[in-house]
Structure 1
Amino acid sequence: MRVVFVGASRFGFKCLDRILHLENIEVVGVVTNEERFTISYAPEGVVNVLYADLKTFAAANDIPVHVMQTKMTETGLVAQVKAWQPELFVVVGWYHMVPRILRDMAPAVGLHASLLPDYSGGAPLVWAIINGETEAGITLFEFADGVDNGPVLGQASTEITPEDTIATVYGRIEVLGLDLLVRCLPRVAGGTAQRLVQDESKRRVFPQRRPEDGLVDWNQPAQSIYNFVRAQTHPYPGAFTFHHGKKLHIWHARVADAGVLQGSTPGICSLLDGQVLVACGNNTAIEILQVSADGAEVTATTWFSQHDKHAPVVFDAPR
């Protein structure tokens, strides 16, 4: 089967490498884009924080490449893909809808990091952790005209533990996704794949996230803020707050005993018994452990020690 691979992420890189070793699969072309690209919800451009250079990898494996300039319907891209005569598109680590003009050439299948139909749309793993879910998953499905709504070819799940971060969950999801491709693509190529129609009554669609969506709301309870921090830590842009109008990223935190902070205004930050504690909503507190300010990542205690010990530390709104 003649496959055109579409992707631009580290996970996409791993999937492309694995697909090259599958029997009866011939990758005849790769569509990718640059690390910074424009998209409908951010015409000013966004940076792909999970970017991988598929262009160089494909060239090293003698696979033709097209680097998308603006959109998937651009004339050069459509003409190039048509010349490759695809029988299937495989899409992984891609932020654009695959248009009908391409899917009329060949069906498209892709991996989505949720148990569809739930958590359709953008940043499914981030949203799942923010929302305190205890299970995540990945789905291989065939594309249709809607948002992640085509028939399911295979799914796999993993637990989200209280200690997990986006990095640890994403790592397990990658392993499960690679296994799905290895198991299911040969069935697609051989015409034996089973397709399960999604239950639309169970669909929830979540929006894409931007770096500016990481602003912490200290009026939320500590558990919610903890989930918010661990959902956006490395390799993502991170949750953040402001101190004296300067941005402070919070990379690692944990729920703490509110203790003497009970009744404090949310956003008040104190150093108590060697712990940097912040008052949160509902009379709860969180300990922040690792932060970065002015481009330098340090422990929270190191950051706190740089401030006047007699002046209160209050996280405020941006100025």
Structure 2
Amino acid sequence: MRIVFLGASQFGLRCLGALAGLPGISLAGVVTAPRTFAISYRPQGVTNVLHADVAGWCEARGLPIATLGPQGMRTPGLWDAVQQWEPDAFVVAGWYHMVPKAWRELAPAYGLHASLLPAYRGGAPLVWAMIHGERQTGITLFEFDDGVDTGPIVAQASTPIAEDDTIGTVYARIEALGERLLVESLPGLAAGTLRPRPQPEGAGQVFAQRGPEDGRIDWHWPARRIHDFVRAQTRPYPGAFFLDGARRVTVWAARVAAPAGLPPGDVAMGDDNGVRVGAGEGTALELLELQIDGHDMPPTAWVRSRHA
């Protein structure tokens, strides 16, 4: 099976490496994208914080490579190059662009989506799942169709979300599961012994992509919800934040604290030097790791700076 791979992230590069050694699979070409690019839901541009040098990896191995320009999937010459590669299938991982119908008519396109479809279709599925306090998530290998993550399912794998997980620890497990799905499934797809199954009709919800400004904390939420909000967006993502006057305070780590009798948003430092902020429903959150206007600062130092 001749594969054209589409990917631009660290996860995509990991999957590309796994494909390179699979029996019955040959890489006909690779399409990648720059770190910063325009996309339909954000024409001014987005930055891929998980970007990887896929082009450099391919060039070092003599693989044909095409990089998207400002026109995205309509980059001049891209479609001609893809046709010349004569793919039997496209494989998509760590990618942020819709695969055009003309491509899917040329060859079926299979992609990895970081949820147990039909749940959490759309953007940032792992982040949304953790924000909502889910206790299980997973990854799905599926065939693309005209909808948003609605195509037939090839294979799935799941993982629990533990109380002390962050987006980083969950993502690491999802990467390993996704790589395994490709390694185990693509030979069957190539041989015609593995056939995708339709998703349930009427199930699932499409979630929006997220930008850095979507990480603003509302202190009227209960502390448990804020804790999930923080750990869902911590490193390597831009982080959950709030404003302290004109200063932007990013919360990298926090934990639910004993009720402190603080109104939502009020800050207090206890005898143990723990910094707590009042939250909704009489709850409180202890701040563990902060960044103030882009500079790391211990929570105690931040509290003292507020009164300097």
TM normalised by structure 1 equals: 0.94
Do structure 1's residue 286 and structure 2's residue 285 form an aligned pair? yes
Aligned to 2:269, which of 267, 271, 280?
A: 271
**Per-residue deviation at 1:298?**
2.5
* 1:130-209 correspondence runs (5 A): 130-209=131-210
**Per-residue deviation at 1:75?**
3.5
Aligned to 1:38: 38
1:179, 1:144 → 2: CA distance? 23
Partner SS state of residue 248, structure 1: strand
Q: Would you say the 8 A contact 2:261–2:278 is kept in 1? A: no
TM normalised by structure 2 equals: 0.97
| Runs of 4+ with deviation above 6 angstroms | none
* 1:1-319 correspondence runs (5 A): 1-69=1-69, 70-261=71-262, 264=263, 266-273=264-271, 274-308=273-307
**Per-residue deviation at 1:294?**
2.8
**Per-residue deviation at 1:96?**
0.8
**Per-residue deviation at 1:79?**
0.7
User: Amino acid of the residue matched to residue 20 of structure 2?
Assistant: L
1:74, 1:169 → 2: CA distance? 34
What are the superposed Cα offsets for residues 235-255 of structure 1, whole Å, 9 maximum, x if unpaired? 001001001121111000000
Partner SS state of residue 77, structure 2: helix
Partner SS state of residue 259, structure 1: coil
**Per-residue deviation at 1:306?**
2.2
1:304, 1:259 → 2: CA distance? 16
Partner SS state of residue 306, structure 1: helix
Partner SS state of residue 34, structure 1: coil
**Per-residue deviation at 1:200?**
2.5
What are the superposed Cα offsets for residues 251-289 of structure 1, whole Å, 9 maximum, x if unpaired? 00000011332xx2x111111121110001111100011
Tell me how large the CA RMSD over aligned residues is.
1.0
Partner SS state of residue 104, structure 1: helix
User: Amino acid of the residue matched to residue 13 of structure 2?
Assistant: F
2:76, 2:307 → 1: CA distance? 60
1:295, 1:74 → 2: CA distance? 35
The gaps in structure 2 that reach 5 residues or longer are none
Q: Would you say the 8 A contact 2:260–2:278 is kept in 1? A: no
Partner SS state of residue 11, structure 1: helix
Q: Would you say the 8 A contact 2:261–2:282 is kept in 1? A: no
User: Amino acid of the residue matched to residue 305 of structure 1?
Assistant: R
User: Amino acid of the residue matched to residue 306 of structure 2?
Assistant: H
Q: Would you say the 8 A contact 1:73–1:101 is kept in 2? A: no
Q: Would you say the 8 A contact 1:87–1:106 is kept in 2? A: yes
User: Amino acid of the residue matched to residue 57 of structure 2?
Assistant: F
**Per-residue deviation at 1:301?**
1.7
The gaps in structure 1 that reach 5 residues or longer are 310-319
